[in-house]
Structure 1
Amino acid sequence: MSVLNQIVKAYDIRGTVHDEVNATVVHALGVGFANFVTASGADRVVIARDMRPSGPSLVEAFTRGLNQHGVDVVDIGLASTDLMYFASGTLGIPGAMFTASHNPAGYNGIKLCLDGARPVGADSGLAEVQSVAQSVLDGDEPARSQRQGERTEDSMLDAFVEHVLTFVDLSEIGPMRVVADTANGMGGLVVPAVLERLDGVDFEIMYPELDGTFPNHPADPLQPANQRDLRARVVAGGFDLGLAFDGDADRVFVVDETGNGLSGSTTTAILAAATLRQHPGATVLHNLICSRSVPEVVVEHGGVPVRTRVGHSYIKQVMAETGALFGGEHSAHYYFARNFNADSGLIASLMVMAEVGRSGTPLSELRAPFERYCSSGEINTQVHDALAVIDQVSGEFADRPQDDLDGLTVDCGDWWFNLRPSNTEPLLRLNLEAPTRDACDDHVAELLALITS
């Protein structure tokens, strides 16, 4: 795979690339994005970056490509991804966030959006950006603008904090103790800026230093090992809950007062119930690997559940199409209509805190009604031909209801599974849910035997 494809293919627009990538490639992407946004009528782009050491040089190269083609740049500097989306939405201009999110040190990448934080995905502009960038690398750069674009600096942090605080009734967040592990990522900037505004909240930040070498542990809270320090600290310090953010702080995993983590599905269900209490009848999205408990909770609270593919660009698009007020992914991305349909770990954190405060019960008790099944978690298996294996598995379950919204989903009555190919690696991703742990483990063994055969 070429360096350019590495940048633009993985995770929709969330590509990663080693630091030693030539800045020429990122400059070419800047030209490609300039060509794309000007065709849509935009003449300004907001740019932000996370704390990775390569960020400043990549931002400079990208900015140069935009400026040379007549596009002005508003540089908001160090920011979380949800802060960049807020800036795009508030300013009404496209945006670019330089981050590799949860990926290891030594990687970087770009998340792009149109004005209003609207997604740029594989079939909504990314191909055009890539095509022009490739032309530039091949020596065929589009004619430069007669007007040189300008670069200005701004800070949107204070406005973002005010925006986040509007999502909850602050009086419901009663006295509580909260600890957040920001993993040396951008949460170290935005999380304390919000928590310090909450009266009665005693908080502690673990690993708050912005350090893209991640000296303490990787900024990937999806992996249980990276929540170990937080879970121990919650229990040792007697905290009411813990928050684990990823590198660009657009995701958050929650830990209850006993040190046990909530899945993204459980948090999605809790936030769906909170949304529907305030907005009866609202539409709520959930991706297809979320627990069955999520649509059940939505229906029980009078809402309309809508099932989507995995991935932020798909969910944002469906939110816009359906008018959904909230959406959640099992991977702990949580989307809010009033946040320009974008995901935010901070908004989700505040809403969970408000639910704990409003209920007057510990999170370990609050979560219980939302956890009804046992899940496998995502299990990755390396295969030679992912599509062939999916076809084979589909044939083995030919008598069961199936759909291909995203990979293969099979409904086996009291249990179900989804099998999806990775976009970037020769891997199949299995997610499975069943009524009990024993049943879940047995069905996982059955599926893995089929996959590896």
Structure 2
Amino acid sequence: MTKLTCFKAYDIRGKLGEELNEEIAYKVGRAYGQIYQPKTIVVGCDIRLSSEGLKQATIKGLNDAGVNVLDLGMTGTEEVYFGAFHLDVQGGIEVTASHNPMDYNGMKLVRENSRPISADTGLKEIQALAEAGVFNEVEHKGTTEKYNILPEFVAHLMGYIDPAKIRPLKLVVNAGNGAAGHVIDAIEEKFKSLNIPVEFIKIHHEADGTFPNGIPNPLLVENRDSTRNAVLEHGADMGLAWDGDFDRCFLFDEKGQFIEGYYIVGLLAQAFLLKQAGEKIVHDPRLVWNTVDIVEQYKGQTVQSKSGHAFIKQVMREQNAVYGGEMSAHHYFRDFAYCDSGMIPWLLAVSVLSETQQTLSSLVEGMIAKFPCSGEINFKVQDTQVTIQKIFEHFAEQNPAIDKTDGISLDFGSWRLNVRASNTEPLLRLNIETTASKNPESIQYYVDLLTQLIES
């Protein structure tokens, strides 16, 4: 029995060759089919050069397990999520490595109604069966047919805006040569047919698995210049950039400034509460004050959840929350089966820009000034738990309010920190925020203080 190292906490990801290849992909498909025994599932893949081959191997495994497959072709992850709750199917698999390096690939798996399959909800069982390789023979093999989900997906997306209220806007859109371009083109066509006055300026638009402009990961500072420069050059109202499988969307204001994902959570909460006061908004514990402030202002209710999509989706289902947001630019929506989407956020932002008649910078500058934050800072440490304990002990005398929802959060009234071990890498992740009105110190003061403490 060969141990498979590509199985992670939330998905499958590994280096091409030994960690992930077509033989392993076949076993994943076969194991998925044998364990869940769905009648039909949807399967799609991103633009990476290895993705189509891995997708075909996965489909063969599913068919050999008796599962029918609707092959969605080249898709973003959320098109598979959409298919898995919108069509009469019992699950979905997207072959993608999102923003990982060139020599990686992976898979994201869901069950009926797009419920996530993570380590604690079935992924370990799939791993065990794929490793053992002992598969049942089935009487009838499954079939495969191609299915174009794009028109239905775009029709769903249009439900998040009121076309009559959209004012003239110019948007720079940067697909990073990933999978987002075909959806943008379809939305543009739809906008034209409805006379919605939005102009799209497209950069790095063509899907290209060689990634001539670098891996699409707008969280990397060096990847932001192309979007920023295009916004300034064209005098655009907003810049949008996506990762490879476009389940995360990143926003730039009309001055070309990159907006931290944390403040976008506040903006999207506002978009929903403008339509319907009293709704519940879920957020993660890393940075919270701005979100709580906005939600209270617009008469909603905040609910805190542990970071990570499996936790947020579960809390949203339990609480019937309309929206959930993480500072990492993952945004989840009740009407999207509680899944994350990189298309819905920018449509809502367009809606807020139109309804408030404000610029994006004026909408977020107030939030940033009121609650400055450090953004996430990562440290490589010997032992994350020992370091977290050291931070805890250092501040114990100051009697901060303590929250252990995720790692540890210490609230001192005028500033706050959250420190946690990464779920996916050997890193310690630190976030700091302050209340500007109550605090004479700059964010940098606290960043320096914590950096010294962690590295000493």
Give the TM-score range, shorter chain: over 0.9
Residue 32 of structure 1, CA deviation: 2.1
Residue 287 of structure 1, CA deviation: 1.2
Assess if the C-alpha contact under 8 Å between 2:34 and 2:136 holds in 1: no
Assess if the C-alpha contact under 8 Å between 1:98 and 1:110 holds in 2: yes
Moved more, 99-108 or 158-167: 99-108
Show the 5 A alignment for 1:53-452: 53-91=49-87, 92-136=89-133, 141-198=134-191, 199-371=196-368, 372-398=370-396, 399-435=399-435, 439-452=442-455
Instruction: Give 1:33's aligned residue.
Output: 32
3-state SS, counterpart of residue 9 of structure 1: coil
- What is the alpha-carbon distance in structure 1 between the residues aligned to residue 319 and residue 12 of structure 2? 25
Moved more, 121-130 or 228-237: 121-130
Residue 380 of structure 1, CA deviation: 1.2
Residue 217 of structure 1, CA deviation: 2.7
Residue 272 of structure 1, CA deviation: 0.5
- What is the alpha-carbon distance in structure 2 between the residues aligned to residue 18 and residue 417 of structure 1? 38
Q: What is the CA RMSD across the aligned residues, in angstroms?
A: 1.7
- What is the alpha-carbon distance in structure 2 between the residues aligned to residue 295 and residue 3 of structure 1? 44
Residue 14 of structure 1, CA deviation: 5.3
Residue 261 of structure 1, CA deviation: 1.8
- What is the alpha-carbon distance in structure 1 between the residues aligned to residue 383 and residue 273 of structure 2? 43
Residue 99 of structure 1, CA deviation: 0.6
- What is the alpha-carbon distance in structure 1 between the residues aligned to residue 189 and residue 171 of structure 2? 11
Residue 430 of structure 1, CA deviation: 1.1
* TM-score, structure 1 as length reference: 0.94
Residue 3 of structure 1, CA deviation: 7.3
**Identical columns (%):** 35
- What is the alpha-carbon distance in structure 2 between the residues aligned to residue 127 and residue 335 of structure 1? 24
- What is the alpha-carbon distance in structure 2 between the residues aligned to residue 388 and residue 452 of structure 1? 12
- What is the alpha-carbon distance in structure 2 between the residues aligned to residue 131 and residue 51 of structure 1? 29
Residue 87 of structure 1, CA deviation: 0.6
Residue 415 of structure 1, CA deviation: 1.2
Residue 19 of structure 1, CA deviation: 5.2
- What is the alpha-carbon distance in structure 2 between the residues aligned to residue 16 and residue 74 of structure 1? 25
Assess if the C-alpha contact under 8 Å between 1:19 and 1:54 holds in 2: no
Residue 116 of structure 1, CA deviation: 1.0
- What is the alpha-carbon distance in structure 1 between the residues aligned to residue 288 and residue 202 of structure 2? 30
Q: Structure 1 residues 397 and 145, CA, compared in 2 at 3 Å: closer, same or farther?
A: farther
Residue 423 of structure 1, CA deviation: 3.0
> How many residue pairs were aligned?
443
Moved more, 380-389 or 421-430: 421-430
Instruction: Give 1:9's aligned residue.
Output: 8
Q: Structure 1 residues 262 and 3, CA, compared in 2 at 3 Å: closer, same or farther?
A: farther
**Deviation string for 1:186-222 (max 9, x for gaps)?**
1111122113322211111111111122111321111
* TM-score, structure 2 as length reference: 0.93
3-state SS, counterpart of residue 86 of structure 1: helix
- What is the alpha-carbon distance in structure 2 between the residues aligned to residue 254 and residue 94 of structure 1? 31
Moved more, 407-416 or 68-77: 407-416
Residue 28 of structure 1, CA deviation: 1.7
- What is the alpha-carbon distance in structure 1 between the residues aligned to residue 208 and residue 30 of structure 2? 29
3-state SS, counterpart of residue 390 of structure 2: helix
Which consecutive residues of structure 2, in runs of 5 or more, have no partner in the other structure?
none
Q: Structure 1 residues 3 and 349, CA, compared in 2 at 3 Å: closer, same or farther?
A: farther
Which consecutive residues of structure 1, in runs of 5 or more, have no partner in the other structure?
none
Residue 259 of structure 1, CA deviation: 0.8
Assess if the C-alpha contact under 8 Å between 2:282 and 2:303 holds in 1: yes
Corresponding position: 1:51 with 2:47: yes
- What is the alpha-carbon distance in structure 2 between the residues aligned to residue 186 and residue 304 of structure 1? 35
Assess if the C-alpha contact under 8 Å between 1:251 and 1:345 holds in 2: yes
3-state SS, counterpart of residue 243 of structure 1: strand
Amino acid at match of 2:178: G
